[in-house]
């Protein structure tokens, strides 16, 4: 559970991430945090530089995203 807490703190609302394509995305919010149902995975909702909204399961987040350091 501590690992999940760390993930949730790392992928926090407002944090900036660089996709492997080089574009910077901003996390808006996380969904399904309080559920343990396997069909409702914790999901990251984020916005791209063009304003389009995207979502991705948290367990797949780090596959192509790296946190942008200020």
Element (H, E) at 4: helix 2-10
The two three-digit tokens of residue 54, written as one number: 């995207």
The two three-digit tokens of residue 1, written as one number: 């559970």
The two three-digit tokens of residue 60, written as one number: 């797949």
Q: What number is the average pLDDT over the span 31-51? A: 88
Q: Domain ranges in the chain?
A: 2-67
8 Å CB contact between 42 and 17: no
What is the tens place of the pLDDT at every residue in 6-26?
A: 888 899 999 999 999 999 999
Angle, vertex CA 25, rays to CA 37 and CA 59, nearest 5? 25
Q: Is the entire prediction scored with pTM above 0.85?
A: yes
The maximal CA–CA distance of the chain, rounded, in angstroms, is: 35
């Amino acid at each position: 559970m501590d690992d999940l807490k760390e993930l949730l703190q790392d992928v926090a609302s407002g944090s900036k991430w660089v996709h492997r394509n080089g574009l910077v995305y901003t996390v808006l919010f996380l969904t399904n945090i309080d559920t343990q149902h396997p069909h409702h995975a914790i999901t990251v909702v984020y916005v791209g530089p063009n304003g389009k909204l995207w979502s991705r399961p948290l367990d797949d987040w780090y596959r192509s995203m790296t946190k942008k350091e200020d």
